[in-house]
A and B are shown apart, each in its own frame.
Chain A
């Protein structure tokens, strides 16, 4: 039902499904049963009940190792204050989770929980400042949502148990790649120091579409890649989106067998370049005109070495604009456009007067001058019979308005006495 509804305009199609399945399978074979369920079975997408969850980025935040965890209810997300923060979290069995309301009009209703679990959620609508707590003993996946904002995508999930280290990345068939860029981001390498590289690699594993901004504010102007360093899963499609002018993407180094060509021509704001990174390893790249300013970036493809938080399953598939429907829309719009343009084209063609059109001439407004005549009008209508004021009695009009009067009276009586007074309970005071 909700294919297009309530999602941002994103194109998540076949690619996402395939990539999502690949990472989910890779994650699942390596981990325990509880971890495999991290795919959440599409809970965060728009295919489940409610809207797609904008603030679920595919990762399950790891809050194991502590026995008190807080989840904010009503964080800024999904077009308003319609998010659980974080949307998906993993905790140890026996952890007490505190749900703290940070904005108004929310509740917590349970979608599903493991057999034997006894969490009741919190039905009544509450406002900022309210707290609900529950100690999660039973292992498994709990999915929950906020009822008034379900359509906006206010959904969450808690995973209780499962191994806490290396989440989705511990499998033997998942390559681990350390985020080692050497001195790439310093000025010892080509170009200037990259001011917006903080030393951390932004973790975008677990999602199969990642965007890197080209020309972000950094390095004394709009000379940055945002983020400068990012880690993705193999098979991820990275979209490089130009947000300012005069940049390109040249590849400095990439793993053996990788085939990324970058984008050599200089482009301006609005341009996008995409590439699906299959080969694991470290890719470094830069923008040529701004290399000296430090406009450099790096992409690490592959799981981090053990000890860091892994990604969740590919469950964040948004509802897709099906290829068929965009085709139909395009066909329909095209047909309408053509239909409207045909008469216009015909008129344009008619600008050249036909050889036998009478009275045609080159015209400038201003009327009757010596050089050119004015535009002639049709003659005024001369009636066959002239009806003066005293000889005219509008009997037809009288008949018509008499009928109209009767219709008005009848419709009013019907609407007032039957529709209105018969319409059930009315406000009496």
Chain B
């Protein structure tokens, strides 16, 4: 078998390229081990897009308290609003573990908190599960970044992170869908 004649400079560059590749992969591994960045995975499970709350991995949209310092937020994305998020802001306390469970009731959407790394796809039939800890009390703007129809650019919402002292735990009976009369 003929040996490939490689110029010594090119061999040098080949070595440098390998170093670069390994260094990049190492940085990413560091990111997941050190600061603990995790990718959105399949832990959210699947749901029926027509009726997401039927299974127990998705509840009526809203904020729920799981225990002392963790909360669950169930968000349903539709054309062209986040529920909750658009007509009323999502309110969560700072310095707690907030786990978002996001699914879609119709087409594929996106869910991103502008200016942060909270960024996921929202696919009907799948629940995107992501845990975030907000250390600063401020308002974040939610934007849908995946084309979902003619008013896609208007689809947005907000999330208010309030200091723990100012936060009132949500009523568990929120978003009662059977409500008929309203004044």
Within 8 Å by CB, do A and B touch in the complex? Answer: yes
Seen from chain A, the residues whose Cβ lies within 8 Å of a Cβ on chain B are 79-80, 104-105, 107, 109, 118, 120, 122-127, 130-134, 147-152, 393-395, 397-398, 401, 405, 408-409, 412, 416, 420-421, 423-429
Q: For A421, what are the chain B residues with a Cβ–Cβ distance below 8 Å?
A: 31, 35
Q: Does B130 contact A (CB under 8 A)?
A: yes
Q: Which chain B residue shows the least CB distance to A130? A: B177
Q: Which chain A residue shows the least CB distance to B30? A: A416
Task: Choose among A147, A426, A427, A428 the residue with the greatest number of B CB atoms under 10 Å from its CB.
Answer: A427
User: Given A133-B181, A428-B131, A428-B132, do A125 and B87 touch, yes or no (CB 8 Å)?
Assistant: yes
Contact of B81 among A120, A131, A147, A401 (CB under 8 A): A147
Whole-angstrom distance between the Cβ of B44 and the nearest chain A Cβ:
12
User: Given A409-B20, A425-B135, A426-B35, do A125 and B83 touch, yes or no (CB 8 Å)?
Assistant: yes
Q: For B120, what are the chain A residues with a Cβ–Cβ distance below 8 Å?
A: 427
Docked pose: A427 CA to B31 CA in angstroms = 11
Q: For B177, what are the chain A residues with a Cβ–Cβ distance below 8 Å?
A: 126-127, 130
**Residues A105 and B79 in contact, CB atoms below 8 Å apart:** yes
16 CB-based A-B contacts, threshold 8 Å: A109-B87, A125-B78, A125-B86, A130-B179, A134-B182, A148-B155, A151-B154, A398-B13, A412-B27, A426-B117, A427-B37, A427-B120, A427-B130, A428-B37, A428-B131, A429-B36
Q: A79-B150, A428-B38 are in contact. List 12 more A-B contacts (CB 8 A).
A: A105-B83, A124-B87, A125-B81, A132-B182, A148-B80, A148-B87, A397-B9, A405-B16, A426-B35, A426-B117, A426-B132, A428-B37
Q: CB-CB contacts of B1-30 with A at 8 A, as 1s and 0s?
A: 000000101001100100010011001000
Docked pose: A149 CA to B31 CA in angstroms = 40
The 3 closest A-B pairs by CB, nearest first: A148-B81, A424-B116, A429-B131
Contact of A120 among B20, B97, B179, B183 (CB under 8 A): B183
Interface size bucket, B side?
35 or more
Contact of A425 among B16, B132, B180, B181 (CB under 8 A): B132
Docked pose: A127 CA to B76 CA in angstroms = 12
Contact of B115 among A130, A134, A423 (CB under 8 A): A423
Whole-angstrom distance between the Cβ of A138 and the nearest chain B Cβ:
13
Q: For B24, what are the chain A residues with a Cβ–Cβ distance below 8 Å?
A: 412
Q: For A132, what are the chain B residues with a Cβ–Cβ distance below 8 Å?
A: 181-182
Whole-angstrom distance between the Cβ of A395 and the nearest chain B Cβ:
8
Docked pose: A103 CA to B35 CA in angstroms = 44
Docked pose: A427 CA to B117 CA in angstroms = 7
Whole-angstrom distance between the Cβ of A133 and the nearest chain B Cβ:
6
**Residues A149 and B80 in contact, CB atoms below 8 Å apart:** yes
Q: Does B105 contact A (CB under 8 A)?
A: yes
Cβ < 8 Å to A, chain B residues 41-95: 78-81, 83, 86-88
Q: Is the interface of B mostly helix, strand, loop or mixed?
A: loop
Docked pose: A109 CA to B155 CA in angstroms = 17
Q: Which chain A residue shows the least CB distance to B153? A: A151
**Residues A131 and B117 in contact, CB atoms below 8 Å apart:** no
Task: Choose among B35, B181, B182 the residue with the greatest number of A CB atoms under 10 Å from its CB.
Answer: B182
**Residues A394 and B9 in contact, CB atoms below 8 Å apart:** yes
Cβ < 8 Å to A, chain B residues 122-137: 130-136
Q: For B115, what are the chain A residues with a Cβ–Cβ distance below 8 Å?
A: 423-424
**Residues A398 and B80 in contact, CB atoms below 8 Å apart:** no
Q: Does B160 contact A (CB under 8 A)?
A: no
Whole-angstrom distance between the Cβ of B165 and the nearest chain A Cβ:
20
Q: For A423, what are the chain B residues with a Cβ–Cβ distance below 8 Å?
A: 115-117
Contact of B150 among A150, A152, A424 (CB under 8 A): A152
Q: For A405, what are the chain B residues with a Cβ–Cβ distance below 8 Å?
A: 16, 20
Whole-angstrom distance between the Cβ of A272 and the nearest chain B Cβ:
27
**Residues A105 and B81 in contact, CB atoms below 8 Å apart:** yes
User: Given A133-B180, A409-B20, A409-B23, do A425 and B88 touch, yes or no (CB 8 Å)?
Assistant: no
Docked pose: A132 CA to B27 CA in angstroms = 55
Q: Which chain A residue shows the least CB distance to B32? A: A428
**Residues B37 and A425 in contact, CB atoms below 8 Å apart:** no
Contact of B151 among A109, A124, A125, A151 (CB under 8 A): A151
Q: For B99, what are the chain A residues with a Cβ–Cβ distance below 8 Å?
A: 429
Q: Which chain B residue shows the least CB distance to A107? A: B87
Q: For B36, what are the chain A residues with a Cβ–Cβ distance below 8 Å?
A: 428-429
Whole-angstrom distance between the Cβ of B38 and the nearest chain A Cβ:
5
Task: Choose among B37, B150, B151 the residue with the greatest number of A CB atoms under 10 Å from its CB.
Answer: B151
Docked pose: A331 CA to B11 CA in angstroms = 59
Docked pose: A107 CA to B88 CA in angstroms = 11
**Residues A398 and B81 in contact, CB atoms below 8 Å apart:** no
User: Given A125-B81, A132-B182, A427-B37, do A80 and B86 touch, yes or no (CB 8 Å)?
Assistant: no
User: Given A421-B31, A425-B113, A428-B132, do A148 and B118 touch, yes or no (CB 8 Å)?
Assistant: no
